[in-house]
A and B are shown apart, each in its own frame.
Chain A
Amino acid sequence: MGEVLDTECNGDFLDGSHILVRTLEDLGVDTVFGLPGGAILAVYDALTNSTKFRHILVRHEQGAGHAASGYAISSGKPGVVMVTSGPAATNMVTAIADANMDSVPLVVITGQVAANLIGTDAFQEADIVGITLPVVKHSFLVTEATEISRIVPEAFHIAATGRPGVVLVDITKTAMIFSAQYDFNQKFQLPGFNPKQQPEHKCLQAATELVVNAKRPVILAGGGTLRAQASKELLDFANLIHAPVVTTLQARGIIPDSDVHSLGMIGMHGTIASAAAVQKCDLLIALGARFSDRVTGKIDEFAPLAKVIHADVDPAEIGKNRVVDAPLFGDLKDTLALLIESLTAAKYTPQDRDSWWNYLENLQMKYPLYLDDEHAQKSAESGMGALSPQSVIQKVGQIAKKYDENAIFVSGVGQHQMWASQFLGHEKPHNWVQSAGLGTMGYAIPAALGAKAARQESTVWVIDGDGCFQMTNQELATCRLAGLPIKVMLINNGTLGMPRQWQTLLFNKHYSQTDLHDGPDGWSGEVVYGDGEEKGGSPNSGIPDFVTLAKAYDCLTIQVTRPEEVEDAIEKAAQENERSVVIEFVVAKDALVFPMVPAGKSNNSIMYTPTVQPLLNEESEELDG
């Protein structure tokens, strides 16, 4: 048994490995990220030059997971990962938890030891189904070859249907080696999986009535709007009801930042106008948002005056964190279309919103995005990182979009992520890839690889920090070898910036273990460079020397230390099309992300700068009427 018959029709007798490859082909998979090892070698043996999907060989399994996530977010299709058992599978856990938290559809295929060895503590055995139970949408353990061509399509169906998520398929060596009839069109055996698709009529009526009567509505768009590809419907809806739109971190780009209805991001580092809109609104229309603590601040004081319409594909989100007046279960694209239809049928025209908009526009003008030039100034004077990280990121956004209006921006986690959200200028949906819910440092480089693999016609720009970059930069090798160049804008402030910011503000400037000695103030030891020509004359460099490190991956590298060099360096990056680029911007380490709502505090206490809290003691009579 096990002999492979090379024909196209259903029903061939194949071993499990070939069944898996054929199933992935028949599902239309075009890219798989992975790394082989003992328990999954049989599957790798079934990959040949005529395999219809591309396998991208990563350098670390976590990288495969984040790459698949970047692929899924930027393409809308499930990302696929294939790794071996034991440590490879446990290396995937972070990427799985990350993707599931952000409702990213992934199918993760892991090898498992032979079925008769399970439970014997065999070599490279790990109970990955058990380990990942709390962080997957669903998981399967496959012990028989005959199950593969049913379970793998089920996994794709579950991952992509309803609220997307991660499905793990753990395939034993036994299932790979034994043979079975290939049958792609088996009936799903998922009696418990029937995601609800459309909101109930009476709930739509209730929502319509709330919209009709709202004086100060606001739309809160979350990641669900992106997963549902509901950007157009969202814009139509905002136009129809003439309401301001605030977005979560995930949903940046669902409405263009330049749109008159957009107030930018809501939450811990959102805009003042967004916070005000939510705190003062009388109707909050939450679309595919899950009321995360980073969005709501102190939940009891979140949107205190508002009735709430909550539309979500996941019924369990409705009422989880906030009481809802009109729940709308179902696909958001359909829900919005139905809501628009219902409002149109009711001959709806928006109430006079002049005082509402005046109030918000006034705040927008008075409290624009905070560039924090002072810290850059001070830093420059003391001979350290002279650049303002916010200005650098703003410039990256401008130049990237000048060259490619479909440029994808990928970010790591921390200060640079918040600045990237605030300053890049998000104009299109599905072009913003980052780790929101789990906050996984090191996400960016592998996710950018995945995004580039999904959309090779787009340029992929990475905003990364020096801390994040050191966690996963090995995937630059993958980028180079797979011909998937990315442009890394390394915002190097020499510290773990966000923890340092909290130490500055909340821990009395006790900078415990946040200095990385890789940036502006370097390292007190002696650094001996092999070839420092491209260092740009920086007096201070630390460990590692990022320019030399990036060179090792055959990247175009530039170190930028002076404001006047910024634009030129980014232009060079934009014009490099063959290789990946790493530009190290040595920035002020004391720069702060503002506005900020301290964790656990009400959004009313949002700080524009450390000393200005615009929404406290605010006169509110201008809103009446």
Chain B
Amino acid sequence: MASDMKTHTLSILVENKPGVLTRVAGLFARRAFNIHSLAVGTTEDVKVSRITIVTDESQAPIEQIALQLQKLINVMKVHVLVDDKAVHREIMLVKVNTEQNGVCVRPEIIAITNLFRVKVVDVAAESITIEATGKGSKLEALVQALLPYKILEIVRSGTIAISRGKDIISLHKGIGEAPDVAE
């Protein structure tokens, strides 16, 4: 991921049908748009899936990417989430070796997890596994802090994001007065 490139987060509501993710991913490939991160899951409506894509503007402005997505028949709504008006989260699992030069460094690693307020989810004789949730930058910082130790494995999910406040991205109006913000 090029850190100097400004990224954008797209929330895409699609029909929950086979092949829809292929169409969305295929569009990015065909138009030479970049995908930095991708996450797909179900939503409050069983007929609707939500795809969250982090992309950049190296090939086309974000508006063009959104308009091209909107053309896909199975895409119902495309919304560009503005960074400071949305909450972004990723989940990361890191497995770290707890032995260094024959010395057990587990307490040091646990100290780091405490500093970052992340959890240890698995402990074995020579390794522990840490679960961390947060913005990408927080996870990057955690990895940096763990670098002096032997990192055995890292698994990261794509970013998911939700807008702050009462604004919602949904096909239906939310509970209460929430406005439709997707236009």
- B70 contact set on A, CB distance < 8 A: 315-316
* Interchain CA distance A138-B22 in the complex, whole Å: 13
- A134 contact set on B, CB distance < 8 A: 26, 30
Within 8 A of B (CB), among A133-178: 133-134, 137-138, 141, 158
Contact between B71 and A314 (Cβ–Cβ < 8 Å)? Answer: yes
The segment from A187-195, A217-225, A550-558, A572-580 that touches chain B is A187-195
Question: How far does the Cβ of A611 sit from chain B's closest Cβ, in whole Å?
Answer: 38
- B124 contact set on A, CB distance < 8 A: none
- A141 contact set on B, CB distance < 8 A: 19
Contact between A192 and B26 (Cβ–Cβ < 8 Å)? Answer: no
Contact between A190 and B19 (Cβ–Cβ < 8 Å)? Answer: no
- B104 contact set on A, CB distance < 8 A: none
Contact between A320 and B64 (Cβ–Cβ < 8 Å)? Answer: yes
Q: Which residue of A lies closest to B63 (CB)?
A: A319
Q: Which residue of A lies closest to B61 (CB)?
A: A319
- A133 contact set on B, CB distance < 8 A: 22-23, 26
* Interchain CA distance A190-B75 in the complex, whole Å: 10
Question: How far does the Cβ of B56 sit from chain A's closest Cβ, in whole Å?
Answer: 18
Task: Check B155 for interface membership: any CB of A closer than 8 A.
Answer: no
Q: Which residues of B contact A (CB under 8 A)?
A: 14-15, 19, 22-23, 26, 30, 60-61, 63-64, 67-68, 70-76, 171
Task: Check A115 for interface membership: any CB of B closer than 8 A.
Answer: no
Question: How far does the Cβ of B53 sit from chain A's closest Cβ, in whole Å?
Answer: 17
- A319 contact set on B, CB distance < 8 A: 61, 63-64
* Interchain CA distance A556-B75 in the complex, whole Å: 53
Task: Check A28 for interface membership: any CB of B closer than 8 A.
Answer: no
* Interchain CA distance A24-B22 in the complex, whole Å: 29
Q: Which listed residue (B68, B73, B75, B76) contacts A158, Cβ 8 A? A: B73
Task: Check A130 for interface membership: any CB of B closer than 8 A.
Answer: yes
- B22 contact set on A, CB distance < 8 A: 130, 133
Q: Which residue of A lies closest to B75 (CB)?
A: A192
Task: Check A114 for interface membership: any CB of B closer than 8 A.
Answer: no
Contact between A192 and B23 (Cβ–Cβ < 8 Å)? Answer: no
- B19 contact set on A, CB distance < 8 A: 129, 141
- Nearest 10 Cβ contacts at the A-B interface: A316-B67, A192-B76, A138-B73, A134-B30, A316-B68, A193-B73, A192-B75, A133-B26, A315-B67, A191-B76
Q: Which residue of A lies closest to B20 (CB)?
A: A192
- B67 contact set on A, CB distance < 8 A: 315-316, 318
Interface centre among B15, B22, B71 (most CB of A within 10 A): B71
- A192 contact set on B, CB distance < 8 A: 14-15, 72-76
* Interchain CA distance A129-B20 in the complex, whole Å: 12
- B171 contact set on A, CB distance < 8 A: 191
Q: Which listed residue (A130, A190, A316, A318) contacts B71, Cβ 8 A? A: A316
Within 8 A of B (CB), among A510-567: none
Question: How far does the Cβ of A126 sit from chain B's closest Cβ, in whole Å?
Answer: 16
- A190 contact set on B, CB distance < 8 A: 73
- B61 contact set on A, CB distance < 8 A: 319
Contact between B64 and A191 (Cβ–Cβ < 8 Å)? Answer: no
Interface centre among A130, A192, A315, A320 (most CB of B within 10 A): A192
Q: Which residue of B lies closest to A320 (CB)?
A: B64
* Interchain CA distance A141-B20 in the complex, whole Å: 12
* Interchain CA distance A137-B27 in the complex, whole Å: 12
Question: How far does the Cβ of B157 sit from chain A's closest Cβ, in whole Å?
Answer: 26
Q: Which residue of A lies closest to B29 (CB)?
A: A134
Within 8 A of B (CB), among A306-334: 314-316, 318-320
Question: How far does the Cβ of B132 sit from chain A's closest Cβ, in whole Å?
Answer: 35
- A129 contact set on B, CB distance < 8 A: 19
Question: How far does the Cβ of B58 sit from chain A's closest Cβ, in whole Å?
Answer: 16
Q: Which residue of B lies closest to A192 (CB)?
A: B76
Contact between B63 and A137 (Cβ–Cβ < 8 Å)? Answer: no
Q: What are 22 A-B contacts defined by CB distance under 8 Å?
A: A129-B19, A130-B22, A134-B26, A134-B30, A138-B73, A158-B73, A191-B171, A192-B14, A192-B15, A192-B72, A192-B74, A192-B75, A192-B76, A193-B73, A314-B71, A315-B67, A316-B64, A316-B68, A318-B67, A319-B61, A319-B63, A320-B60
Q: Which residue of B lies closest to A130 (CB)?
A: B22
In addition to A138-B73, A192-B72, A320-B60, 16 A-B residue pairs with Cβ atoms within 8 Å of each other are A130-B22, A133-B22, A133-B23, A134-B26, A134-B30, A141-B19, A158-B73, A192-B14, A192-B15, A192-B74, A192-B76, A315-B67, A316-B64, A316-B71, A319-B64, A320-B64
Question: How far does the Cβ of B150 sit from chain A's closest Cβ, in whole Å?
Answer: 42
Question: How far does the Cβ of B169 sit from chain A's closest Cβ, in whole Å?
Answer: 15
* Interchain CA distance A133-B23 in the complex, whole Å: 7
* Interchain CA distance A129-B23 in the complex, whole Å: 11
Question: How far does the Cβ of A10 sit from chain B's closest Cβ, in whole Å?
Answer: 26
* Interchain CA distance A133-B15 in the complex, whole Å: 17
Within 8 A of B (CB), among A259-318: 314-316, 318
* Interchain CA distance A193-B72 in the complex, whole Å: 8
Contact between A191 and B23 (Cβ–Cβ < 8 Å)? Answer: no
* Interchain CA distance A320-B64 in the complex, whole Å: 6
* Interchain CA distance A552-B96 in the complex, whole Å: 78
- B30 contact set on A, CB distance < 8 A: 134
Question: How far does the Cβ of B18 sit from chain A's closest Cβ, in whole Å?
Answer: 8
Q: Which residue of A lies closest to B27 (CB)?
A: A134
Q: Which residue of A lies closest to B47 (CB)?
A: A191
Contact between A137 and B23 (Cβ–Cβ < 8 Å)? Answer: no
Question: How far does the Cβ of B94 sit from chain A's closest Cβ, in whole Å?
Answer: 36
* Interchain CA distance A314-B67 in the complex, whole Å: 9
Contact between B71 and A191 (Cβ–Cβ < 8 Å)? Answer: no
- B60 contact set on A, CB distance < 8 A: 320
Contact between B63 and A191 (Cβ–Cβ < 8 Å)? Answer: no
- A158 contact set on B, CB distance < 8 A: 73
Q: Which residue of B lies closest to A163 (CB)?
A: B71
Q: Which residue of A lies closest to B77 (CB)?
A: A192
* Interchain CA distance A130-B18 in the complex, whole Å: 12
* Interchain CA distance A316-B23 in the complex, whole Å: 17
- B74 contact set on A, CB distance < 8 A: 192
Q: Which residue of B lies closest to A315 (CB)?
A: B67
- B15 contact set on A, CB distance < 8 A: 191-192
Question: How far does the Cβ of A619 sit from chain B's closest Cβ, in whole Å?
Answer: 38
- B68 contact set on A, CB distance < 8 A: 316
- A316 contact set on B, CB distance < 8 A: 64, 67-68, 70-71
* Interchain CA distance A544-B80 in the complex, whole Å: 59
* Interchain CA distance A318-B72 in the complex, whole Å: 17
- A130 contact set on B, CB distance < 8 A: 22
Question: How far does the Cβ of B42 sit from chain A's closest Cβ, in whole Å?
Answer: 16
Question: How far does the Cβ of A310 sit from chain B's closest Cβ, in whole Å?
Answer: 13
Q: Which residue of B lies closest to A134 (CB)?
A: B30
- A193 contact set on B, CB distance < 8 A: 73
- A314 contact set on B, CB distance < 8 A: 71
Question: How far does the Cβ of A363 sit from chain B's closest Cβ, in whole Å?
Answer: 35
Question: How far does the Cβ of B175 sit from chain A's closest Cβ, in whole Å?
Answer: 21
